[in-house]
Amino acid sequence: MRKIDDAGYGHLLYERTRIFKTLIVHRLDSKHGLAIVTPEQPDDLWTLRRVISKGDLVRSETSRVIKDNSEYSRPDKERVKVTLTVEVEQVRLDSTLSRIRVSGRIVDVSNEILGKGEFHSLNVSEGHRIAIKKPQGFTKVELKLIENSSAVLGDSYFLVALDGREAGVGLVRGTHLKIFPVVESGATGKMFAESKKSTKGSASAYFQKIADMMKSINSGQEGEEEGGGEVKSSSTRKVFVMGPGTTKNAFVNFLLQNRTKKQFGDVRAVEGLDVAGEDGVYTAVRSPSLQQVLGETRLVKVSKIIQETMKRISLNDERVALAFKENMIAAKAGAVESLLVSDKIFLGPDDEEKVVELLNTVEEFGGETFLLDSSTDLGEQINSLGGAIGLLRFSLGAKVSQGS
């Protein structure tokens, strides 16, 4: 079958969507090898990179710029939306731009401005709905990836590290951390506490700026579906606030008094973290105090795996594999229990398809895998250890270190 059923794809606007972890699954028909999904965060794109392979049919909406060259036409260019299906020849992950690029020959198109047989590339990013048709059906690993992809919904939350002068704001989604510009209070030293009246007014304006930034980040996240092939999440994010003194408590109270139910989820102050600003957000990620509050999120789990890795290395425990080659040997032996990979591994000499094979092999043997953002401290630690680290169920002895 070289065409995705139009009726099957059209149902996506009317069927009740299901949320598996964070990847929104509108339709999953394992019998006919069809999935219609919307990635919600970077980890979901990595999931799709591992699911989509050569020979698959991928359908999505794209746009083309059209210029009317007739004699009396206006010089303006028009952007036209087109729905098309490509037979996949290549898939590439572009983690720096948070997208995957799916390239292949067009086998079906809704507008004659593009012709069948032409080569075309679809850029799939967060919020971009696509349909995947696998002629040979889904493998068990691929189905598992779709149904259990990325992080649980609770893995998306704000970190705010503030004092009376500045606030650092970070957004965690799965194993990815994004830092936003520091919010300045506009007050320094004694000016911030001149009087109770001015302090209250200054603090309220300062707190409002922080809240407005988070609302802006959340903007467009309400309402299940929008036009243009995009789906918006209606889930609310928790907010964890830290920093020296009592400013964090005052900000928590401010949010609780001024928020609406749709703006934020649970809002909590975290004790034991006394660094504000951007540095405070980075410090919070690896802080035991925050880990205790968060519980077993993916980022916390990754931090614990790195700690266990360093412990085993210091004790000369052989149940550790470093870099790509060692982990591939261990994976094929069914020895990898947990595998961490930095996105920078794709800039190295190892072929991207080989990296996909590594991760899928680990999961075939019941292991768990994590893709880390190299811009975070945790990601940098993995880079320093060869871009991939694996905790092993059992030692392979010299077999791993010799690469045989």
CATH number where 288 lies: 3.30.420.60
Instruction: Report the pLDDT averaged over residues 363-386.
Output: 85
Instruction: Report the pLDDT averaged over residues 317-333.
Output: 94
26 plus 94 within the same structural domain: yes
In a domain, 31, yes or no: yes
- Of 130, 147, 164, the last residue of a domain is 147
Q: What percentage of the chain has pLDDT greater than the value 90?
A: 39
Residue-wise pLDDT for 72-111, tens only, equals: 555 566 777 888 999 999 998 876 667 899 999 999 888 7
- Of 280, 295, 310, the last residue of a domain is 295
291 plus 306 within the same structural domain: no
Of the candidate ranges 39-53, 114-128, 194-208, the one whose mean pLDDT is the lowest: 194-208
Q: Residue 317's pLDDT is what?
A: 94
Q: Residue 203's pLDDT is what?
A: 80
257 plus 333 within the same structural domain: no
In a domain, 230, yes or no: yes
130 plus 163 within the same structural domain: no
In a domain, 181, yes or no: yes
Q: Which of 143-157, 226-240, 280-294, 380-394 has the highest average model confidence (pLDDT)? A: 380-394
For the chain, the C-alpha Rg in angstroms (whole number) is: 24
214 plus 277 within the same structural domain: yes
User: How many separate domains does the chain show?
Assistant: 3
pLDDT for 191 beyond 80? no
113 plus 13 within the same structural domain: yes
- Of 123, 147, 171, the last residue of a domain is 147
CATH number where 52 lies: 2.30.30.870
Q: How confident is the model at residue 329 (pLDDT cuts 50, 70, 90)?
A: very high
In a domain, 138, yes or no: yes
In a domain, 70, yes or no: no
Residue-wise pLDDT for 227-255, tens only, equals: 334 434 435 788 999 999 999 999 999 99
194 plus 328 within the same structural domain: no
In a domain, 360, yes or no: yes
Q: Residue 24's pLDDT is what?
A: 84
CATH number where 350 lies: 3.30.1330.30
19 plus 137 within the same structural domain: yes
Neighbours of 165 (CB within 10 A): 17
113 plus 95 within the same structural domain: yes
Q: Residue 149's pLDDT is what?
A: 66
In a domain, 1, yes or no: no
141 plus 16 within the same structural domain: yes
Find the domain containing 234 and state its range.
153-295
205 plus 262 within the same structural domain: yes
286 plus 161 within the same structural domain: yes
